[in-house]
Amino acid sequence: MEIFRSIRNLLRFGSSRFDGPMLFFMFLLFGMGIIVMFSASVIPAEREFSDSYYYLRKQLLWGAVGLFLFLIFCQIPYQFLVKWSFVFSLISLLLLVAVFIPGLGKSVGTSYGRSFNRWIQIAGFQIQPSEFAKISILLFASYFFYNFDFKKIKWDQKKITSLVVIFLTLLLIVIEPAFGTTVELLLVLFFFVLLAGFPMKRLFILGASVIPLLVVLVTQVGYRKKRLEIWLDPYKFRFDEGHQLVTSFRAFFDGGTSGKAIGTGYAHRYLAYSHTDFVLSSYVEDFGFVGFCFFLFVVLFLTVRVFLLLQKTKDKLGYFLGAGILILFGFQTILNLFVITGIVPVTGISLPFLSYGGSSLLTIFILFGILANITCKENLVV
């Protein structure tokens, strides 16, 4: 009986300044990510750098920086960040433009004959501006929509400028191209419009009107069209472009109920991006169906906990911003899961807290720092 009382006290909202269960499961996800990322990266690191610990050291470094940023942002009032969101958005736009500047931006060619411009080289470090653009868009759009009255729309210069900034940010991300990130941000904006009180019927009609554009972007762009063909029949391309998806399927099959000996599976040796976008495939190969269910439990608990916390926030602005962060986290997780299981075509989308990558890890730590501030005890009705 005493145990249940202790658990109830731990789960009680507002029992401490920052919500303990949310922070525990957030750091649990990051810890799981370090383990599986290291397992998945040993062979690629040895193959590329003759150093099995190369990716582990870099991820731990980014994790330390991310933790530092988390501690900073959970102390900064989110109202202050929103107040300066226009400045952050302009900085984000400059960084997105910088990826196309020779000598500063890094262009990577693909087997489809398309170049990707997603990274900036600064002092020996490589950052991905589209990841940090998620933060600026969330801050800026939450402020724009939370006090937007669709019944009394007055298109002044400030509102038009705000829409132009949001549009330019999305346009630059599409041009990079980073289609997965664009879809993420569009979904967040869709929910912001919904939360702001736009009539649902009209909203879905508006959303449906965008579908033809998305179809054109998928079917008429060379590398996306090829990805669609691979998705429809990956085994037809299993010896070239489809090898990644087919190997992911095998990782799920080989994992069985309880997994294989850590780091010994087929996917660890032959799955491209096994420590980045496809890290969950390596995780399932290591820990099997049981491990996969545990991962789902952790993500679902964290998502539900944040959702319940947001229901108790005093401030509408905090609710909007927190909801945007939650939607981004949830959708990114679901989209990554759908990609590696072949439910949707392959697109570059990282798994929050688990995938290797400094920009994505720093971004998610910053967002959860903001979320911790929004849901801190003084901002809740308890």
329-343: pLDDT as tens digits: 999 999 999 999 988
- Whether 110 has a pLDDT exceeding 60, the answer reads no
Can you give the pLDDT at residue 179? 77
Distance separating alpha carbons of residues 208 and 32, to the nearest angstrom: 38
- Whether 81 has a pLDDT exceeding 90, the answer reads yes
Q: What is the DSSP string of 75-130?
A: TS-HHHHHHTHHHHHHHHHHHHHHTTSBTTEEEEE-TTS-EEEEEEEETTEEE-HH
Both structure tokens of 162: 């705000």
Give the closest residue to 313 by CA, choosing from 373, 232, 223, 253: 373
CB atoms within 10 A of CB 362: 22
Distance separating alpha carbons of residues 250 and 150, to the nearest angstrom: 50
Omega before 177 cis (within 30°)? yes
Lowest mean pLDDT among 80-94, 119-133, 368-382: 119-133
- Whether 3 has a pLDDT exceeding 60, the answer reads yes
Can you give the pLDDT at residue 374? 95
Question: Mean pLDDT highest for which of 76-80, 114-118, 201-205?
Answer: 76-80
Give the closest residue to 304 by CA, choosing from 55, 25, 29: 25
- Average pLDDT taken over every residue of the chain: 85
10-31: pLDDT as tens digits: 677 777 788 889 999 999 999 9
The model's confidence at residue 205, banded by pLDDT at 50, 70 and 90, is: confident
Q: Which residue has the higher pLDDT, 32 or 145?
A: 32
The model's confidence at residue 84, banded by pLDDT at 50, 70 and 90, is: very high
Asked if residue 282 lies in contact with residue 314, where contact means CB atoms within 8 angstroms, the answer is no
Distance separating alpha carbons of residues 188 and 198, to the nearest angstrom: 14
pLDDT, average across residues 92-97: 91
Can you give the pLDDT at residue 363? 96
146-190: pLDDT as tens digits: 877 666 666 677 778 888 888 899 888 888 878 788 888 888 888
Q: Which residue has the higher pLDDT, 300 or 176?
A: 300
Angle (CA) 258 261 265, round 5°:
100
- Whether 323 has a pLDDT exceeding 60, the answer reads yes
Distance separating alpha carbons of residues 381 and 187, to the nearest angstrom: 28
Q: What region does 156 belong to: left with phi over 0, alpha with psi -120 to 50, or beta? A: beta
305-317: pLDDT as tens digits: 999 999 999 888 9
- Whether 224 has a pLDDT exceeding 80, the answer reads no
Can you give the pLDDT at residue 236? 81
At residue 68, what are phi and psi to the nearest 5 degrees?
Answer: -60, -45
Q: Which long-range contacts (CB under 8 A, 24 or more apart) does 149-156 make?
A: 149/197, 150/196, 150/197, 150/198, 150/199, 151/197
The model's confidence at residue 77, banded by pLDDT at 50, 70 and 90, is: very high
What percentage of the chain reaches a pLDDT higher than 70? 87
The model's confidence at residue 379, banded by pLDDT at 50, 70 and 90, is: confident
- Whether 229 has a pLDDT exceeding 60, the answer reads yes
